[in-house]
Amino acid sequence: MYLLWEKNSYLGGRLELFVKTALFVSQDPNMFFWRVYLLNTPFMSENSQSTYQIQGQTVEHLKSFIESMKAEKQSVFIRKIKDLEEELKKLKKSKRYGLVWEDKPEDVVERCKTELPVLVGDETKTINENPDGPTHILIEGDNYHALSVLAYTHKNSIDFIYIDPPYNTGSTDWKYNNAYVDANDSFRHSKWLNMIEKRLRVAKELLKKDGTICVTIDDYELPRLWLCIEEIFGESNLLGVISIRNNPKGRMTQRKFSLIHEYAIFFGKSEESSIKKLPVNPEDKTHNYKQDTDGSWYLDVNLRKQGADSTATTKSGKISDRYYPIYIDSKTGKVSTVEKLDIEIYPIDSKGEKRIWRRSNDVIDEMYKSGDIWAKKQKNEYQLYFKFRGGLDGEMPKTMWYDSEFSASEHGTQLLDKILGERELFQYPKSPFAVIKSIRSATVNKNAVILDFFAGSGTTGHAVLELNKEDGGNRQFILCTNNENKIAEEVTYPRIRNVIQGYGDVPGIPANLRYYRTDFIGMEKSIDDLRKKFMGRCTEMLQIRESCFTPIQVEDENEYFQVFESKETILAVLYHPYEIAKLQKLADTTAKSIVAYIFSMGMEIFQEELSYLSNRLRIETIPDEILETYKKIFGF
């Protein structure tokens, strides 16, 4: 007696597995005989090209086994098959090109499923040194939580993001879930990608439509970072990758090249983003500028024009008035358009094409007298050159930054030690000059908002202060950093404070600063209960959103009615609708525009009650917009 199965059928392909599962895994003592039988008897033999033959006494048992498998639809095996089928469907839907990594849960991200971040101000660290300038922000806490708050306060509001994340060198330069990630961690790159990808996705939502992000990195994570940013921002929004010579001496190595540079990857948020022109440095070795006796700079430029708009003959057949003879004295080198000397030349190129001169004939003689034009014999013929003094107003930045000012040793570590008055409080700080050039390359807005959510030693904040001092700008920085090893309290904040107030023989750069820490509100099953928990916990977020920090003493002020101001705006925070009437009195005391945030258990708009103030009043309700922001990020 035997049973036939088609070779290409599913059961035919898995029959041996069925038998082994039934007989060898079973704890039934009666199965012992079958185990011995299978070890000593051929299990299957080929009957033909299309079937397997199962021999002897096993057939009846197998019939029973197979029927039980059919009946038991919820068996472990069937469930596994279904799981595999689902995975196959996911794989078919997944991208066929790009970056894929193991998703390793991150504690700070998981925390947001049960707690929501808010901010708490530290008034002892407030600095007010410039009443006419912006107020800069320093947030202590995990940057994922800080970014989530900023997703509400600064959505589509950031001009430029500059970050210097951990380079994941394998030398315990960063932690994941409170454990250092070293070179032996098999999930080292996956952990790093999990960390950076989530933050970049939130960060993108903060940028203006024409905003730009710059991420610095070295060879350890460059390939993965590039693909990660490209996936988030889009391949077409890559603006360039810069090589910065930040370590001229080179990194010690056993068998690899000695690295002297790092990379700065620039991406725009949209097609409206662009890199901006920078003033030309005539001393840059990539240029051929020469310095004149009066200190001005010029280029030697051939007087004969080249290019599509340089032809002497117009479409109508007319000869341009810039096509004329210039005379040269072969002995003295004299140049003239009036005096006919022994050499006559026209603007004709090496191919015999008639071109035009770059200057009209009425200025040539004066240019010669002033030394701005001269003749030069090349390959048995004369060429005319003149001093071109233009082109210094701007050019697109190049992709190699190698000047000594970008050295992280001289202008990073040594500078930080000088500012703090102590040595080696922070490893590998950036040069402010590298950040300044990055800012200039990304935005020309002197009122730009600049974010760094891997603030570290505070170099970006320092760079913004220096740049404002240099060109009279009012740029605002927002820095986010954790307080691991007391970095925020003992490095970032002291550095910014000392730059503002001065250190050693270096005068301060007057500015304003507010210091915040992340805090949390526990989740509630009821949305109304969650709203109530936010009562009184939104004030700092609203101050940052509206840039209104100075409290105003008003009549009948209480915990449910708080008022703050800036140079142009009044911020009123009402944690109870009954306080609306107080806005009338407030409006009578100021001509400034007013923005009122009113606590509501829904999305009511109180415009009708305050219609008489509509010309200078904007009304927002809280906390629902905050909660909606968090829902999009955390998915609760």
Beta-bridged to residue 284, according to DSSP, are none
Question: Is residue 105's pLDDT more than 90?
Answer: no
At residue 270, what is the residue type? S
Give the mean pLDDT of 613-623. 82
| Two structure tokens written together for 151 | 């997703």
Return phi, psi of residue 116, to 5°.
-115, 140
What pLDDT, on the 0 to 100 scale, is given for residue 95? 61
* Local confidence band at 16 (pLDDT 50, 70, 90 cut-offs): low
* Local confidence band at 42 (pLDDT 50, 70, 90 cut-offs): very low
Per-residue DSSP letter, 616: G
What pLDDT, on the 0 to 100 scale, is given for residue 37? 46
Question: Is residue 365's pLDDT more than 50?
Answer: yes
169-178, 318-327, 456-465, 601-610: range with lowest mean pLDDT: 601-610
* Contacts for 629 with CB less than 8 Å, ≥ 6 apart: 148, 151, 152, 155
Give the mean pLDDT of 150-174. 90
CB–CB of 604/619 below 8 Å?
no
Higher pLDDT, residue 599 or 556: 599
Question: Is residue 374's pLDDT more than 90?
Answer: yes
What pLDDT, on the 0 to 100 scale, is given for residue 170? 76
What pLDDT, on the 0 to 100 scale, is given for residue 360? 94
To the nearest whole number, what is the mean pLDDT of the chain? 85
15-29, 132-146, 463-477, 596-610: range with lowest mean pLDDT: 15-29
* Local confidence band at 76 (pLDDT 50, 70, 90 cut-offs): low
* Local confidence band at 28 (pLDDT 50, 70, 90 cut-offs): low
Provide the residue ranges of all domains of the chain, joining segments of one domain with +.
3-93, 124-278+397-518, 290-388, 524-634
CA 294 to chain CA mean position, Å: 44
CB–CB of 166/545 below 8 Å?
no
Nearest by Cα to 108 from 518, 485, 534, 456: 518
Give the mean pLDDT of 236-253. 93
What pLDDT, on the 0 to 100 scale, is given for residue 53? 42
CA dihedral 301, 305, 309, 311 (to 10 degrees): -170
What pLDDT, on the 0 to 100 scale, is given for residue 50? 40
Please name the residue ranges forming H helices in 293-449.
Answer: 364-369, 414-420, 432-442
What pLDDT, on the 0 to 100 scale, is given for residue 222? 94
SS3 at position 101: coil
C-alpha 505/C-alpha 147 separation (Å) is 37
Question: Is residue 541's pLDDT more than 50?
Answer: yes
CB–CB of 411/419 below 8 Å?
no
CB–CB of 92/221 below 8 Å?
no
Higher pLDDT, residue 462 or 176: 462
* Local confidence band at 225 (pLDDT 50, 70, 90 cut-offs): very high
| Two structure tokens written together for 416 | 């930080």
Give the mean pLDDT of 415-442. 90
What pLDDT, on the 0 to 100 scale, is given for residue 611? 66
* Local confidence band at 39 (pLDDT 50, 70, 90 cut-offs): very low
Higher pLDDT, residue 635 or 29: 635
| Two structure tokens written together for 574 | 């009402």
Question: Is residue 121's pLDDT more than 60?
Answer: yes
What pLDDT, on the 0 to 100 scale, is given for residue 503? 95
What pLDDT, on the 0 to 100 scale, is given for residue 496? 98
Question: Is residue 604's pLDDT more than 70?
Answer: no
SS (H, E, C) 233-292: HCHHHEEEEEEECCCCCCCCCCCCCCCCCEEEEEEECCCCCCCCCECCCCCCCCCCCEEC
CB–CB of 284/299 below 8 Å?
no
What pLDDT, on the 0 to 100 scale, is given for residue 278? 93
What pLDDT, on the 0 to 100 scale, is given for residue 301? 95
**Alpha-carbon distances, residue 240 vs 197, 397, 442, 555 (angstroms):** 20, 10, 11, 56
* Local confidence band at 371 (pLDDT 50, 70, 90 cut-offs): very high
* Local confidence band at 5 (pLDDT 50, 70, 90 cut-offs): very low
Higher pLDDT, residue 379 or 246: 246
292-296, 404-408, 422-426: range with lowest mean pLDDT: 422-426
SS3 at position 395: strand
Tally of CB atoms within 10 A around 222:
16
Give the mean pLDDT of 92-118. 81
Question: Is residue 590's pLDDT more than 90?
Answer: no
C-alpha 211/C-alpha 513 separation (Å) is 24
HSE-up of residue 18 (Cα within 13 Å, Cβ side): 21
C-alpha 416/C-alpha 180 separation (Å) is 25
* Local confidence band at 454 (pLDDT 50, 70, 90 cut-offs): very high
What pLDDT, on the 0 to 100 scale, is given for residue 10? 47
CA 225 to chain CA mean position, Å: 11
Beta-bridged to residue 582, according to DSSP, are none
What pLDDT, on the 0 to 100 scale, is given for residue 55? 45
CA dihedral 439, 442, 444, 445 (to 10 degrees): -80
Question: Is residue 609's pLDDT more than 70?
Answer: no
Give the mean pLDDT of 89-116. 78
At residue 216, what is the residue type? T
94-103, 524-533, 565-574, 598-607: range with lowest mean pLDDT: 94-103
At residue 279, what is the residue type? P
pLDDT tens per residue across span 190-205: 888 999 999 999 999 9
Question: Is residue 316's pLDDT more than 70?
Answer: yes
Question: Is residue 62's pLDDT more than 80?
Answer: no
* Local confidence band at 605 (pLDDT 50, 70, 90 cut-offs): low
C-alpha 451/C-alpha 107 separation (Å) is 24
**What CATH homologous superfamily does 124-278+397-518 map to?**
Vaccinia Virus protein VP39 (3.40.50.150)
Nearest by Cα to 514 from 547, 487, 559: 547
* Local confidence band at 626 (pLDDT 50, 70, 90 cut-offs): very high
What pLDDT, on the 0 to 100 scale, is given for residue 32? 46
| Two structure tokens written together for 513 | 């600063």
Higher pLDDT, residue 99 or 379: 379
Question: Is residue 410's pLDDT more than 90?
Answer: no
| Two structure tokens written together for 301 | 């430029």
What pLDDT, on the 0 to 100 scale, is given for residue 588? 80
Beta-bridged to residue 299, according to DSSP, are 388
Tally of CB atoms within 10 A around 188:
18
What pLDDT, on the 0 to 100 scale, is given for residue 558? 77
